Structure 1
Amino acid sequence: MIDILLSLFFFIATFAGLATSFRVLFSRKNYSKSFYLGMFLLSLALVSVYNFYLSANIFKDFPDLLVITKSFIFLAAPCSFLYVRNVLSENEKIGRYDWLHFIPFVIYFGLILLVYAGRYAESEVTNYLAAKTNNPFSILMLTIWLIYVFFQTMLILNYDLKKFRGNQLERIKVINWIKVYNLMILFLFSTLFVHHFLVRQVKFDDLSCYFLILTVLFFTMGWLYFKPQIFYNQEETFDFVSDATLVIKSKETKNNVPIINELNVEKKEEYLLKLDYVLNAKKLFLKKDFVIRDLSEETGISVHHLSNLINSEFGLHFQDYINLKRIEYFKDKINDPEWKDLSLEGMAWGSGFKSRTTCFRAFLKHTGKSPSEYFKTIRLNPAQTNAYYFK
C-alpha cells in the first residue's frame, strides 16, 4: 500500500511539475527570468520521473532509459542561482557564458547514457562508471551546490533596493519572495549534504533525498499558483479605501490662486500650445518625480511664467494640474486591453502617481471619488465620469 501511495505521489509531482515548468518556460513575460525559473522547476519535475520509476518498478517493468532523468538534479542549483541573479539584476539579457553552469549536467547526462548503452557489455569501464553514477549525491557535487547557494545568498544580502528605479513597494514583495525561495534552497542542499555526510552507505533506492527535492518542487508550484504576481512582477490588488491612515477633506475646493496677467494674448497662446504639445505628445506627466522645473526645461518657458500661466488659465497649482492630466490618462487607458490585467495600484503607477497616498488624494479632490469607486464607475459607463474638466 505504501509503495502505491509513493508511486501516486511521484506521479502527481511529475505531472504538476511538468505542467508548471512548461507554463513558465513558454511565458513571454520576463523571459530571461522565467527561463531559469522554468528550468529549475523542470529539473525537479524530471527527477520525480526517476522517483516514480524507482517506486513503481516493483509493480511493473518500466524502461530502464528513465534512469537518465536523475541527472536533471544537476540543473537545480545552477538554475536557481541564475534565476535569483537575473531577478535582482536590471539586465534583461541572458548572460553569454551562462551555459558554463550546465557543464556538470552535460557530463553526468553523457555518462548515464554511456552506462545505459553499455549495460549488456560486461566491461570494467562500464561497471566502474555505473558505480560512480549510481548516486548523484556525492560530497563533491553537494559541496558545489552549496557554493551556488552561498553566492545566491550573497547576491540577496548585497542587493541595494535604493538603487532600483521603479515601484519600490512591488520590488519589496519580489525581494521577500526571493528571500523565502533562497531559504528553501539553502535548507534543501544543506540537508542533502548533512544526510550524505552522516550516512555514507547510501542505497540506490533511498528516497529520503528525493522527498526533500519534491517538497521544494511543491512549495514553488504552490507559491506560483496562489501568488502568480510574484512571477509576472505585477502589482497585487489592494483597496484604496481601506487605508484608514489617510485623513482627507473630501469637500476641498480648488485653491484660490492669485491670477497675475503678465503675458499678452499672443504670448499666452504660444505658451499654451507648447504646454499642450509637451505634456500630451511626450506624456511627461507619467514621470513619477515630474516637477515644474522639468516642464520649464522642456518648453523653454520660465518657471515663473509657467506657474502664472497654469494658475490663470486653469485655476490650479502646478501639481494639481499634473494630477488632473494623470487622471485623464487613467480614464483614457482604463478600458485599454493592455490594462485589463492590471490592479488598481498598477493603473495608478502606470498613470504617473508615485504613491497610493498621492493617487488617493488626487482622485478624491478632483473627482469626488476614491480610485476604487472611480474605477467601478468608469468600467460600467465611461461617459458618466466627467466629474472634472479643464477650462
Structure 2
Amino acid sequence: MDKMNLLSIVTVLSLFISFFLAFFLLTVKTANKTSNRIFACFLLISAIDTSEPLISQFTDGPSNLGIFRTTLAFLQIPTFYLYVLSVCYYDFKWKPEYLVHLIPFLVVNLAFVPRFYAVDLDSKINFIINRQNMIELKFIHWLFHFQISIYFTAVFILLRKVKKLYLENNSGGKSNSYNWLFQFASILTALYLIVILKNIFKFSDYPYISDWIKFGILALQPFIICWYLYKALNNPGLFRNIDSKLKLVSDLILEEKNIEPETLNEDLSKLKKYMAAEKPFLNPALTIQDIANAIDVPVRELSVLVNHQLGQHFYDFVNTYRIENAMEILKDQSKSKVTILEILYEVGFNSKSSFNTAFKKHTGNTPTEYRKIL
C-alpha cells in the first residue's frame, strides 16, 4: 500500500467520524443546542479543511473551489473560540459584533481574487507551480499563524477568567470541569503548532516531510475529537455555570469606593453568625448571591469582603466550613461506621475528588488518614 492510498484511507476515516459526530450534535435533543451547533460547525470546517488528500484524487488541477476550501481554515479557530464562550457562559447569545471573526477569512479570499479567482486555468496552474514565490500565499500563512496565536491566547485568558469567577461566586465542586476544557485547548494548540511546522516544510526543500506530518495530523484528529466528546457527553452539566455580567473582584475593587472598616466588620460579623447558625454550606450549589440575600448585604460588597479582605475565594471560604464540619463527624466515635462518601455528601460536597483535595489542603491529610490518626 503506497503513501497516497494510506493517506486517503486515514482521511476517509477522519471525515466519517467528524461528519457522524457533527450529525449527532445537530440532531440530539438537548438544552444546550447553541453550543452543540457551534462545535458541529467546528467539526465540519475541520473535516473539509483536512479533506484535500481525498479530493485531490478526483480533480485534475487547481480550482476556485479548491482554494476556497483551504481558506476555511481561517474559520476554525474563531469557531472554537465562540464554542468556548458558549459553554462557559450560560447566558451566551449571538451578537452582531461576533461577525468581526469573519474578517481574516474575507481578507484572505479577497487576496486571491486578482491572481487566482479571476484568472484562467493556465494562470491558476502557474500560480500553484510558483507558489513558493507568491506573496499571497506567504501573507496567508503568516496571517494564519498570527490568528492561531491571538485566538488561543484569548481562549486561555477566557478560561482563566471564568474559572476565577466561578471560584469567587460558587461553592460547588465543578471548578475542575474547566481543567479538561483547558486540556482540550492545549491539545488543539499543540496540533496547530504542528500544522505550522507542516506549512514551514511545505515551502522548504523538504516538502515530503510536510506530507508525513499531514498524515500524523489526520490520524490524531479523530482520537482527539472522540476523547473530548466522550468527556462532554458524559458530563453535560459541567459548564454553563457563569453569568457573563459577573465581574472579577479585582475589577470590583477598582470600581467600588473604599468601604468603611465599620461596615466591613459589621458585614463580617453577620456572615460568620449566619454560617455558624444556619449552615448554608450544606447546600452543594450554594452561591455568594444566596448568602448576600440571606444576610442583606449587597453581593458586590460581600464578594469584596470574602474574596479580597479575607484573602480567600468564596469557594475556599465555604469549603473551610465544610471541612470543619467533616472533621467533627470524623472525630465522633459514635459515627465511626459512617463512610467517607456519606460524610462528603452530608457536609455539602458533591464529588469525592473535590472533598479529598479540600480536606488535604486544610488538614494536610486525606479524610481516611485523618480518621486513622485520631
Structure-1-length-normalised TM-score: 0.51
Contact 1:33 1:86 survives alignment (8 Å): yes
Match of 1:43 among 32, 42, 45: 45
Relative to 1, partners in 2 of residues 1:234 and 1:84: Cα closer, same or farther, differing over 3 Å?
closer
Which amino acid in 1 is paired with 2:24? Answer: R
Aligned-residue offset at 1:221: 2.5
Counterpart of 2:17? 16
- The residue correspondences of 1:177-326 to structure 2 (distance < 5 A) are 177-196=180-199, 200-201=203-204, 206-208=210-212, 210-211=214-215, 213-215=217-219, 217-229=221-233, 232-233=236-237, 288=285
Provide the C-alpha distance between the structure 1 equivalents of 2:124 and 2:190, rounded to a whole number of angstroms: 40
Instruction: Indicate the SS of the match to 1:201.
Output: coil
Provide the C-alpha distance between the structure 2 equivalents of 1:289 and 1:231, rounded to a whole number of angstroms: 20
Relative to 1, partners in 2 of residues 1:169 and 1:356: Cα closer, same or farther, differing over 3 Å?
closer
Contact 1:51 1:207 survives alignment (8 Å): no
Provide the C-alpha distance between the structure 1 equivalents of 2:40 and 2:94, rounded to a whole number of angstroms: 14
Aligned-residue offset at 1:47: 1.1
Indicate whether 1:76 and 2:76 are aligned.
yes
Instruction: Indicate the SS of the match to 2:95.
Output: coil
Instruction: Indicate the SS of the match to 1:151.
Output: helix
Relative to 1, partners in 2 of residues 1:91 and 1:191: Cα closer, same or farther, differing over 3 Å?
same
Provide the C-alpha distance between the structure 2 equivalents of 1:169 and 1:36, rounded to a whole number of angstroms: 27
Contact 2:14 2:218 survives alignment (8 Å): yes
Which amino acid in 1 is paired with 2:17? Answer: A
Provide the C-alpha distance between the structure 2 equivalents of 1:105 and 1:152, rounded to a whole number of angstroms: 19
Counterpart of 2:143? 140
Deviates more, 1:72-81 or 1:105-114: 105-114
Counterpart of 1:98? 98
Structure possessing the higher relative contact order (Cα contacts under 8 Å, 6 or more residues apart): 2
Summarize deviations over 1:212-248 as a string: whole Å, max 9, x none.
653563134212453342573369xxxxxxxxxxxxx
Aligned-residue offset at 1:7: 0.8
Relative to 1, partners in 2 of residues 1:123 and 1:88: Cα closer, same or farther, differing over 3 Å?
closer
For structure 2, the 5+ residue unaligned runs are: 240-282, 297-344, 352-374
- The residue correspondences of 1:31-180 to structure 2 (distance < 5 A) are 31-54=33-56, 56-57=57-58, 61=60, 64=63, 65-109=65-109, 115-116=116-117, 118-120=119-121, 122=123, 131-132=134-135, 138-158=141-161, 159-160=163-164, 161-163=166-168, 165=170, 168-173=172-177, 175-180=178-183
Provide the C-alpha distance between the structure 1 equivalents of 2:22 and 2:84, rounded to a whole number of angstroms: 17
Provide the C-alpha distance between the structure 1 equivalents of 2:121 and 2:61, rounded to a whole number of angstroms: 17
Relative to 1, partners in 2 of residues 1:125 and 1:51: Cα closer, same or farther, differing over 3 Å?
closer
Alpha-carbon RMSD: 4.7
Relative to 1, partners in 2 of residues 1:85 and 1:124: Cα closer, same or farther, differing over 3 Å?
same
Contact 1:33 1:87 survives alignment (8 Å): yes
Which amino acid in 2 is paired with 1:155? Answer: L
Which amino acid in 1 is paired with 2:13? Answer: I
The structure with the largest helix share of the pair is 2
Instruction: Indicate the SS of the match to 2:72.
Output: helix
Tell me the matched-pair count.
252
Deviates more, 1:77-86 or 1:60-69: 60-69
Q: Which has the larger radius of gyration?
A: 1
Contact 2:61 2:125 survives alignment (8 Å): no
Instruction: Indicate the SS of the match to 2:18.
Output: helix
For structure 1, the 5+ residue unaligned runs are: 236-285, 298-348, 358-391
